[in-house]
Chain A
Amino acid sequence: MKREPNVKNNNRTVIVLTGIVIVMFGFGFAMAPLYTLFCNLAGIQTLGGNLTTEKAAVEDTSKQSRYVIVKFDSTITRGLPWKFTPSIKEIKVKTGEPNNVIFLAKNFADESIIAQAIPNLLPWDANTYFNKVECFCFQKQLLEAQESKEMLIRFVVSTSLPDKINSLTLSYTVMNADTDSMKKYSNERQIKKTKNYLTDIYFKEIPLFYSLDKETS
């Protein structure tokens, strides 16, 4: 007996399978917007996340308010000849009240560089209770050659922060926003050549505790 395979059926199978391949390829790309959406829903920090107005964030502290500790941390990624540090390591803040903290930035390159700071807050459960009224991380920041600058974050920790959380850590990763410039400074020798990179006197003179300005409250 001689039986030919059913070519028509096979062609249909090929078309269906090719369809699956194309759909899965598209699914990979669809993940990019879907992932951002998911992060927003899950309260994972993204650019522009946690932005609120001062009016919405500030709460009546007469009824329930307590003190929590907010710690600050910063990291500079490869390819950015900046120094970027919080002016204080940690502060004790009252929930429901606005607070200002200054981050100090300096560009060591001989040209202007644009950078972007990416926030990350731990523990994750605290994300929805941490409201930023103003933050340097919402925009790209430009520093001219050798320029130093104070950058402000103004935030309110919500009074409804769960009781188990007594301490928050806000960490910023700062990266070069321009790919070409990043590649240029990625070369470590380039960074070392940039003068005074690690031993700038500016940062040695930072007082451990920067006076918090409360004039707006």
Chain B
Amino acid sequence: MSIAEAPVTETGELKIVKDATCTFCGCVCDDMELTVEANKITKAKNACVLGKAWFFNHHIEDRPEATIEGRPVTFDEAVDRAAEILMSATFPITYGLSDTTSEAQRAAIAITDWIGGTIDTTTSVCHGPSGMAFQGVGEVTCSLGEIKNRADFVLFWGCNPAEGHPRHFTRYSLMPKGQFLPNGRKDRTAVLIDVRKTKTAKAMDYFLQLKPRSDFELAWALRGIVAGAPVDPNIEEVTGIPLDMLEDLVGRMKQAKFGVILFGMGLTMTRGKHINTEAVLALARDLNKFTRFAAKPMRGHGNVTGADNIVSWTTGYPFGVNLNRGYPRFNPGEFTTSDTLARGEADAALIVASDPMSNFSNPAREHLSKIPTVVLDPKLSETAKIATVAFTTATYGINTAGTVYRMDDVPIPLRPAFESPYRSDQDVLTAIEARIREKQLAAG
């Protein structure tokens, strides 16, 4: 039976939700004005094209609240089976979590702790390498507010905010007039370094097109120029960018009053990965000998930054954390989900708000389809289709309150637009955690 058939209060009146938060991307814009009619958002003032698609397409779907092997069951039966699956595994993994509230993330970590599992999030296939780089060389950081008010030099590297974060330019990094930038865009110099001349390039002052897989060499050449070290002119053959152009770039970076490098997955997903981001973070650090400079990753999902924060303050590490020995162990490559699945190690999985059956490698997908899984998702996905136990949940931010972290680690509260007949991720996970504890305590 579908609980979508259960009566939902419809007043027939318009409801306006002001200062609502969009949780589609890491910008987490919190100035939405939503018009809600009969449990459907019909207007989303201030939302970008992605935000509008997010708000207009998350209405109540007619799906069972819970299923076991595709068969609709009661919530209680599903919770019981989920607890049983996770408790009986020897190497259970918890994964996803970037599209849910921080309160739900905390509950998922608690479950993983009780069962001695491995907690990992979509960060590991996003900016996980940046997390490793932060540990390696540190992070000279700043908030998006500082960028808005101070950054007169903005370098985008391996990212395409024009398509991935459409309001980043207008809210934070390019267009706004800031405290020290009274003329907005005119007071800023904007540069893009990328393999592709994307739509972002059109909004820039300068575009440097580098050859694929040469980010590491480029970042180290720039570091060399910043330090005054001789750099081989053959760098052009490697990166596609002439040395004098790089020298000019460094000159402009040093002249900035406040510079920032905003980097994307062009660095983290390409060969080199964490050493690419390490080099870029070190470049920003080096520039502080001359001026103020920061570097920030452009985060994708609405609360992937929250996932890093919550996993960090609960375990001490940002992702890929094993709790099997009763204390946290962090080791990317060993405890990250893509690896534990592809090597066939995980023997059960709890997956929250993520679709690894669409996004992972063939060996990882093949193994995931063979092990028992508990999947929470508001929408049907390839992962939900293969779930042993599947829960349909409410959409965070649209149906549920809670907290998310913007890409600059600033926590933002959610103001839901309308109630869902489905439970929140947090409620489902808390119920599973309670059932696990009941069973563990009963077993002594």
On whether the two chains bind one another, the answer is no
Binding site for B on A (CB under 8 A): none
